[in-house]
Amino acid sequence: MDQLFNRKYIIQGLFILLSLILIGKLFYMQVLSDKYFLSANSNALRKISIYPARGVIYDRNNKVLAQNQPTYDLMVTPNQVKPFDTLSLCNIIGITMEEFREKFHKAVVHSRNQAFIFQKLLSVETYATLQEKMFNYKGFYVQKRTIRYYPDSIAGQFLGYIREVNNNEIEKYQGYYKLGDYIGRTGLEKQYETDLRGKKGIINMLYNVHNVPQGSYADGKFDSLAVAGSQIITTIDSRIQKLGEELLANKVGSVVAIEPSTGEILAFVSSPGYDPNKMVGKGTNDSYKSLFANRYKPFFNRPLRGRYSPGSAFKPLDALIALQEGAIDPNTTFNCPGYYWAGNRKFKCEHIDGDISLRRGIARSCNTYFYSIFAKMMTKNGLKKQHATYDEWQNKVRKFGIGDTLGIDFPGESSYKLFTAEDNTKRHGKYWGYTTILSVAIGQGEISTTPLQMANIMAIIANRGYYIKPHVVKGIGNDKHIDPKYKEKHYAGIDARHFEPVIDGMQDAVNSSIGTAKESQIPNILMCGKTGTVQNNQGKNHSVFIGFAPRENPKIAIAVIIENGGYGGAYAAPIASFITEKYLTDTLMGRRINGATIDQYKAANLLPQLKENIAKPKLKTDSLNQATDTTKRELPIKPKINQHTFNKTAVEPKANATATK
């Protein structure tokens, strides 16, 4: 009986205790704590997001590439709207009554109780006028934010653009964004979005019955400050970036320049490009549609996604592998009668060079020489083991960054395919041999690269055997940190001693009378390089040049591709030399070989004529598809450049078209 009595009082005690806890909680919520007051008084208080300033983007010399400017959004919460003079609001913000009804309907569909962007990107002047009459428009308020501004209007493809978030992005970032927020959609703005965006703040703004803000509730006790995005210092040199874009005006192509000792990208030019300021503000949608419809594809990122056969620019790499394997030494000589016989097939070499060794073979770009060293490498283990030998060779090529992505800190990098022995078997049948794929010896056929990969090959040669992953950011935030992987060396597997004889040939290609790139000589600077001329099945040849300078302690490695530019020495090599000269000396001089000026190269229009009745192209491929060398030698004929001044003896030799079969 006593136990039952005790149990009764224990239960009663528990109920009393729970009641006291509940009463205390209610007292705290209603009297002591403002937190619940804020939630319960949404008519008087509004949580206003404070958008942080997006991180400023600088070039390597601390010149601003992307900064911010203020703008304002008119917000509406439908359930709080009272009858008002809608026409007066329409006149202030510059819309029609029909547009007003459409916008308000969207807000209602989104949510009657949540704020929605009614009119975005109001000017400072419109904001000032609106603020004076805001008390007339209950349920509406103005929210401040910033938008991008690009002072020099350069590097559109590199910097990228920002757009409103979509539902997938809202879900991906777990609610950080809401409809109407902006996010980096392409380029650097996308790659470093989480660093650039900063952190939103919140102001609990108190409004009176006339819809006039009275200031932050409780003197900001419950507010949180916005945190500005981190500044980013890029590796880009805006001087040569701008020059590269000017030189590639009215041309299709790309320029990638790298500082060999660090892997830092100095120039990242994709042409045609676009003014990044056109992707900001009220006209963004119209600009986007216009650029997307442009059949020269200004949104296509050629430095990372352009698919190009390297052509003769591949020859220095092939020579290095042959030296490493012992297939040749610098004095190994082959005879060039103007062609090369492979079985019953004849591959043409434009020059008759006679007995020729490595240095002259590179300077003259003798196809016969490189066919010969490739044949020696493929048959060193016997004719029956060519497939295994080829796989050994292509694995050595991959160490130069071909056949896979390089891992640049930038979205959208492509690798393209370097054929394995198995791939060749699928394509040619099980009886293929080196004569079947001989065009690979001169950078054609079953090999494709991007401009970034070509520039990286030059960085490897400039460094005498290694590269650091190419990257576009030099430092993030106040501590200027970067990912440690962009400081690691990656070796190509070639002994340092083999580079000098190859570099001798590249030096002569630019600086000797027999060189294929002698139009690109730079006064007082020893530049080393290699031209390439690649056939374009859809038009004129593509002009290619890769090189570095100066020879000793190189500061810049560069790759230039000009579609429809003719042979390598016509446009790509001179353009590369102007950019290199600007970077090394901050000056520009005319070229003494052909007398051409930089303004003539800027003015040259090499855009191919487009057929009128063709399907609209998809925004994903380059105009070049498995291009091959050409046997036809034709100087580009362009207005404003004296074509007769180009020395015809500088044309590099080509393979017969059968070499790419």
Read off the pLDDT of residues 56-71 as tens digits, 9 standing for 90 and up: 999 999 999 999 988 8
| Mean pLDDT computed over 109-121 | 87
pLDDT in tens, 251-287: 999 999 999 999 999 999 999 999 999 998 877 888 8
Report whether 58 contacts 65 (CB < 8 A).
yes
Superfamily of domain 45-234: Penicillin-binding protein 2a (Domain 2) (3.90.1310.10)
pTM score: 0.83
User: Is the pLDDT at 646 greater than 60, yes or no?
Assistant: no
User: Is the pLDDT at 586 greater than 90, yes or no?
Assistant: yes
Structure tokens at 99: 């547009």
Do strands 466-468 and 489-491 pair parallel, antiparallel, or not at all (unpaired)? antiparallel
More confident residue, 35 or 634: 35
DSSP conformational letter for 496? G
Percent of the chain with pLDDT over 90: 57
Give me the count of residues in the chain.
661
Residue-level pLDDT at 121: 87
User: Is the pLDDT at 494 greater than 90, yes or no?
Assistant: yes
Report whether 133 contacts 142 (CB < 8 A).
no
Residue-level pLDDT at 185: 93
Please identify which residue in the block is written with the tokens 């380029």: 187
Among residues 40, 635, 44, 631, the alpha carbon closest in space to that of 351 is found at 631
Percent of the chain with pLDDT over 70: 86
Q: Measured over all CA atoms, what is the biggest interatomic distance in the chain, rounded to whole angstroms?
A: 123
Phi/psi of residue 199, nearest 5 degrees: -135, 130
Residue-level pLDDT at 628: 35
Distance, in Å, from the CA atom of 527 to the CA atom of 519, rounded to the nearest integer, reads 12
User: Is the pLDDT at 31 greater than 60, yes or no?
Assistant: no
User: Is the pLDDT at 208 greater than 80, yes or no?
Assistant: no
User: Is the pLDDT at 97 greater than 90, yes or no?
Assistant: yes
Residue-level pLDDT at 612: 64
Residue-level pLDDT at 591: 66
**335 forms bridges with which residues in the sheet?**
355
| Mean pLDDT computed over 579-592 | 87
**346 forms bridges with which residues in the sheet?**
341
| Mean pLDDT computed over 522-534 | 92
Residue-level pLDDT at 650: 34
Among residues 334, 535, 538, 566, the alpha carbon closest in space to that of 443 is found at 535
H/E element holding 6?
helix 2-27
Q: What is the number of H-type helices and E-type strands within the chain?
A: 21, 22
Among residues 502, 567, 507, 581, the alpha carbon closest in space to that of 531 is found at 567
Report whether 482 contacts 471 (CB < 8 A).
yes
User: Is the pLDDT at 295 greater than 80, yes or no?
Assistant: yes
Give the pLDDT band of residue 34 (cuts 50, 70, 90).
Answer: low
Residue-level pLDDT at 338: 92
| Mean pLDDT computed over 1-6 | 53
Residue-level pLDDT at 3: 54
**Cα 166 to the chain's mean position, in Å?**
22
H/E element holding 524?
none
Considering the chain, what is the average pLDDT of its residues? 85
* 304 Rama sector, left if φ>0, alpha if ψ -120 to 50, beta otherwise: alpha
More confident residue, 213 or 40: 213
DSSP 552-591: SS--EEEEEEEET--STTTTHHHHHHHHHHHHHHS-----
H/E element holding 117?
strand 116-122
Give the pLDDT band of residue 35 (cuts 50, 70, 90).
Answer: low
Residue-level pLDDT at 221: 80
Under CATH, which architecture does the 238-280+303-660 domain have? 3-Layer(aba) Sandwich (3.40)
Domain boundaries, the chain: 45-234, 238-280+303-660
Residue-level pLDDT at 637: 37
pLDDT in tens, 309-363: 998 899 999 999 999 999 999 999 999 999 999 888 889 888 898 999 999 999 9
Question: What is the number of alpha carbons within 13 Å of residue 562 lying toward its C-beta?
Answer: 30
